[in-house]
Amino acid sequence: MAKPTERLSLRLAPEHLKLLQDEAESLGTKPSVLASALLVRALSDAKTDELRNEMEQLRKELQRMWEDIANLGVVLLVKAGNEDPEKARAWIRKNFRP
């Protein structure tokens, strides 16, 4: 069941009200319905942008973590496995890709 809506009043400059009225008329709807739809869309787009930015930050952080783990693998192969550093890096590049 949909939640009941609440009334909201706002003031617009005459030129913006005219734009809203003209657009609503061209779409065959009331200015109040169009204003509500535009406001909801703007708020939803802002949340989407925020989520997109957070996801990008997480991707970057995950990439840094993979690089750190790969570097750790090289160090372990060189120090504990007595492997040549270049061979260790080559093995990590070949076998340890996310």
Give the predicted TM-score (pTM) of the model. Answer: 0.54
Pairwise CA distance, residues 82 & 41, whole Å:
60
What pLDDT tens digit does each residue of the chain (98 aa) get? 677 888 888 899 999 999 999 999 999 999 999 999 998 888 888 788 888 899 999 999 999 999 999 999 999 999 999 999 999 999 999 998 76
Pairwise CA distance, residues 56 & 51, whole Å:
9
pLDDT at 1: 65
